[in-house]
Amino acid sequence: MKVPFLDLKAHHAPLRGHFKTAIAEVIDSGIFAGGPAVANFEEAFAAFCKCDYAVGLGSGTEAVWLALLACGVGPGDEVITVPSTFMATAEAITYCGAKPVFVDVDERNYTLDPAALANVLTSRTKAIVPVHLFGQTADMDPILKFARQHGLVVVEDAAQAHGAEYKNRRAGSMGEIGCFSFYPGKNLGALGEAGAIVTNDLELADKIRVLRDHGQTRKYHHAVVGWNCRMDAIQGACLAIKLRYLDRGNELRRTHAARYNSAFKEVEEIILPLEAEYARHVYHVYAVRVRDRDEVMRQLERKGIGCGVHYPVPVHLQQAYVSLGHQRGVFPVSEQIANEFLSLPMFPELSEAQIEFVIETVTETISAGAIA
> Taking residues 17-42, what's their average pLDDT?
97
3-state DSSP assignment of residue 195: strand
Q: Which of 298, 63, 325, 75 is nearest to 198 (CA)?
A: 63
The span from the CA of 312 to the CA of 83, in Å, is 11
pLDDT band at 4 (very low <50, low <70, confident <90, very high): very high
> Taking residues 22-37, what's their average pLDDT?
97
Residue 115 pLDDT > 90: yes
Domain spans in the chain, listed from the N-terminal domain onward? 8-243, 246-367
Residue 328 pLDDT > 80: yes
DSSP class of residue 86? -
Query: What CATH architecture is 8-243?
Result: 3-Layer(aba) Sandwich (3.40)
pLDDT band at 369 (very low <50, low <70, confident <90, very high): low
Q: Return mean pLDDT, the chain.
A: 97
> Taking residues 226-233, what's their average pLDDT?
98
Angle at 185 (CA atoms; ends 175, 188), nearest 5 degrees: 50
pLDDT band at 368 (very low <50, low <70, confident <90, very high): confident
pTM of this structure: 0.97
Residue 371 pLDDT > 50: no
The CATH number of 246-367, from 3.40.800.20, 3.90.1150.10, 3.20.20.10, 3.30.420.40, is 3.90.1150.10
The span from the CA of 358 to the CA of 4, in Å, is 10
How many residues make up the chain in this entry?
372
The span from the CA of 265 to the CA of 287, in Å, is 14
> Taking residues 34-47, what's their average pLDDT?
98
Domains 8-243 and 246-367 share a fold: no
